[in-house]
Structure 1
Amino acid sequence: MIVEYAAMDGDAVVARIAELERDLFSSGAWSREAVRQELAAPARTYLLAVDDTDHTTIIGYAGFWYDGDDAELMTIGVDPSRQRQGVATQLLDALIGKAREQGARRMLLEVRVDNTPALNLYQRHGFQRMGLRKRYYQPEGVDAYTMALDLAPRTIGFQSAAAAPQHEREENDHE
Structure 2
Amino acid sequence: MIVDIRDLDREQVIEAISALEAELFGRGAWSEASVRQELDAPARTYFADVDDASHIRGYAGFWYDGDDAEIMTIGVGKAYQRQGIAAALLGRMIAEAKAQGAARMLLEVRVDNVPALALYERFGFQRLGLRKRYYQPEGIDAYTMSLDIARPHIVGFQSANATREETAQEEGERQ
Match of 1:97 in 2: 95
Match of 1:137 in 2: 135
For 1:14 and 1:28, the matched residues in 2 are separated by 17
Gaps of 5+ in 2: 152-169
Matches within 5 A, 1:52-91: 53-54=52-53, 56-91=54-89
Residue 117 (structure 2) pairs with residue 119 (structure 1): yes
For 1:151 and 1:162, the matched residues in 2 are separated by 22
The structure number with the bigger radius of gyration is 1
For 1:82 and 1:36, the matched residues in 2 are separated by 24
Residue 29 (structure 2) pairs with residue 29 (structure 1): yes
For 1:23 and 1:57, the matched residues in 2 are separated by 15
SS at match of 1:60: strand
Q: Deviations over 1:118-166 (max 9, x none)?
A: 000000000000000000001100000000000114xxxxxx89539xx
For 2:8 and 2:14, the matched residues in 1 are separated by 10
1:68 is displaced (CA, Å) by 1.2
For 2:76 and 2:49, the matched residues in 1 are separated by 8
SS at match of 1:107: strand
Q: Deviations over 1:58-87 (max 9, x none)?
A: 000000000211000000000100000000
Identity %: 62
Change (3 A) 1:132 1:9: same
For 2:59 and 2:38, the matched residues in 1 are separated by 13
Residue 43 (structure 2) pairs with residue 43 (structure 1): yes
TM-score with structure 1 setting the length = 0.86
SS at match of 1:111: strand
For 2:89 and 2:150, the matched residues in 1 are separated by 20
SS at match of 2:91: helix
Gaps of 5+ in 1: 154-159, 165-175
SS at match of 2:97: helix
Residue 18 (structure 2) pairs with residue 18 (structure 1): yes
Amino acid of the structure 2 residue aligned with 1:40:
D
For 2:34 and 2:15, the matched residues in 1 are separated by 11
| Aligned length, in residue pairs | 156
**Which residue among 132, 150, 159 is the counterpart of 1:152?**
150
TM-score with structure 2 setting the length = 0.86
Question: After the TM superposition, which parts of structure 1 deviate over 6 Å for at least 4 consecutive aligned residues?
Answer: none
